[in-house]
Amino acid sequence: MTQKQTLTVRDNRTGDEYELDITDGTIRASDVGKIGKSDEEPGLAVYDPGFTNTASTRSAVTYIDGDRGILEYRGYPIEQLAESSTFLEVAYLLIHGELPTREQHDQWVHDITFHTFVHEDIKTVMRGFRYDAHPMGMLLSSVGALSTFYPEARNIKDPQIRHEQIVRLIAKMPTLGAWSFRHAQGKPYVYPDNDLTYTENFLSMLFKMSEQKYEPDPRLSKALEVLFILHADHEQNCSTNAVRSVGSSQVDPYSALSAGIAALYGPLHGGANEAVLRMLKRIKTKDNVPAFIEGVKNGDERLMGFGHRVYKNYDPRAKIIKKATEDVFEVTGVNPLLEVAQELEKIALEDEYFVSRKLYPNVDFYSGLIYEALQFPPEMFTVLFAIPRTAGWLAQWLELVDDPEQKIARPKQIYTGERQLDFVPAAQRWS
């Protein structure tokens, strides 16, 4: 017998009954709005600060099953992509919805490679920042500034123009990110090298000094490639929601993406790996781990890099990063904090406190260690997140632009302030 996919609701204020359709495990907020609606009263609404149980879109980009620890881009498991794909192929997959043919791939890589340069005036914009400017602040402003260089980008209904901006954004993000890093160090900005791969070129723009050609260790560029793949998308998180919300006003993609970068700048979103590193430095040695764990269990501390709003199982990205950590340390030498991290993980995975609360390592638990081994200061960690996430933001933005159901984002509120006060002019109030 097939179950009826509806929900019957009885409004006890009036005794009226409503039958709401259930589609894909959701009811429509507009159907809820019909409950109790009359000429005098607005219908019922739902209250959901932080959108913890509200679907804002239908999406075919990224699938997550947090209980089972599954993450898939366009249906492909993250483990397989991290093992055998490249970041640019994954970016193509996210944006176009399917894997490229050889010709499509070569054209895509060529286009991205030949759009890595930015207008010289963008360099002037970046030069204008204070010597100690946070690289995320520089990145978000310079991405926003790009919209003034490509005014045609506002034609978001034109697929060809959209495609050009997508290529530009994926191509130029590493350039802007690397320059914001060089700026803080007082070093000259390094121009892109089109003979290198996406991640090799990024490393070159970050670390090249007086040598003719910068050739990064392939193990490092591969590890960065893996990290970029893991961070490319994560469905409707805070920054993606910001891109979609701002994008729903039909603004150009540079402006919409700078909103995403701003969201990622916040410590609750992009800053957890930095907090992990600070925690590991504070614990210092393996011997101090048991006392630290006791502090966590007593509620005095939080084990940073553990637990996730969605994953109630091992974050699939954390497993892959753990392996990449070993590869990076082969080149850079082992970070002594790795021992502390491994001991924390070992104890926590066996301890009843963490097991019963389904607290497992998340993506940030090991990524900070890798970034530090690659000599990035903590302020750069979020920039390293924003560069690959550009592919996901753009895939989600494209989906939004083409979705006939989407409207300008405009949540409701429950008004709690005063009403109909009489205004007394300042001269009278203060006399």
Ligand X SMILES: CC(C)(COP(=O)(O)OP(=O)(O)OC[C@H]1O[C@@H](n2cnc3c(N)ncnc32)[C@H](O)[C@@H]1OP(=O)(O)O)[C@@H](O)C(=O)NCCC(=O)NCCS
* Cβ distance to ligand X smaller for residue 300 or 422: 300
Which parts of this chain interact with ligand X (CB under 6 A)?
A: 272, 296, 302-309, 357, 359, 362-364
* Cβ distance to ligand X smaller for residue 50 or 186: 50
* Residue 187: DSSP 8-state: P
Give kind and range of the element (H or E) at residue 381: helix 381-401
Could you tell me the smallest distance in angstroms from the CB atom of residue 350 to ligand X?
A: 15
Nearest to 240 by CA among 102, 376, 400: 400
Rounded CA gap, 373 and 331, in Å?
Answer: 9
- Cα 196 to chain centroid distance, Å, stands at 26
Neighbouring-strand partners of residue 361: 306
Is 364 catalytic? The answer is yes
Other C-beta atoms lying within 10 Å of the C-beta of residue 340: 23
Could you tell me the smallest distance in angstroms from the CB atom of residue 304 to ligand X?
A: 5
* Cβ distance to ligand X smaller for residue 200 or 379: 379
Q: What letters, b where the CB count within 10 A reaches 16 and e where it falls short, cover 349-367?
A: eeeeebeeeebbbbbbbbb
The tokens describing 6, both together, are 């509806």
Other C-beta atoms lying within 10 Å of the C-beta of residue 258: 23
Other C-beta atoms lying within 10 Å of the C-beta of residue 103: 8
The answer for residues whose C-beta is within 8 angstroms of residue 283's C-beta and 6 or more apart is 289, 292, 340, 344
Neighbouring-strand partners of residue 306: 361
Nearest to 388 by CA among 222, 208, 199, 156: 199
Indicate which residue of 308, 315, 403, 422 is catalytic.
308
The alpha helices in 150-252, defined as continuous H runs, are 159-185, 198-207, 218-230, 238-247
Could you tell me the smallest distance in angstroms from the CB atom of residue 392 to ligand X?
A: 15
Which residue type occupies 201?
N
Could you tell me the smallest distance in angstroms from the CB atom of residue 238 to ligand X?
A: 11
The tokens describing 278, both together, are 């600070």
Is 308 catalytic? The answer is yes
Could you tell me the smallest distance in angstroms from the CB atom of residue 341 to ligand X?
A: 13
* Cβ distance to ligand X smaller for residue 4 or 357: 357
* Cβ distance to ligand X smaller for residue 171 or 318: 318
Indicate which residue of 364, 402, 403, 422 is catalytic.
364
* Cβ distance to ligand X smaller for residue 222 or 308: 308
Neighbouring-strand partners of residue 77: 72
Rounded CA gap, 178 and 203, in Å?
Answer: 8
Could you tell me the smallest distance in angstroms from the CB atom of residue 353 to ligand X?
A: 7
Could you tell me the smallest distance in angstroms from the CB atom of residue 140 to ligand X?
A: 20
The tokens describing 130, both together, are 């204070």
Q: HSE-up of 266 (CA within 13 Å, CB side)?
A: 10
* Cβ distance to ligand X smaller for residue 181 or 366: 366
Write out the catalytic residue numbers.
308, 364
